[in-house]
Structure 1
């Protein structure tokens, strides 16, 4: 039987753990498209991308912290500390 048309996967005996995170729909679409174009699963694509970054940088690169969305933030005034009666 041939693997034509199937995506590449890691060997069945390779240990794996779950890694989850929320991303924007646009980011997910970009990752899914890149994985499909590479002919691999999204999980394999992410693992290969991370391995490539570590290989190129010696470790995972650091990123900037997200900017606070002050436009959609409620301003709640500081209340004086009160003790329960």
Structure 2
């Protein structure tokens, strides 16, 4: 199960699975495995299963601004941008 969870965290695997949701639902309807009115529910369920992995991956790649760090892990200093000319604010 850990290997499956690790595979689902990888973006290429999730993108491939997203591409299989619609054709898979169409095949399931065509072969009578799923009723036509329930296919959209299964597609939505597949999306709900795949989205948290993408959200968690995106969240893990950002640094909160309250504790900014450089790539080497050193504390970073945020310097506000100032306009080059005083009239730039107008």
Q: TM-score range by the shorter chain?
A: under 0.3
More helix by share: 2
With normalisation by structure 1, the TM-score equals 0.27
Under a length normalisation based on structure 2, what TM-score does the superposition of the two structures give? 0.26
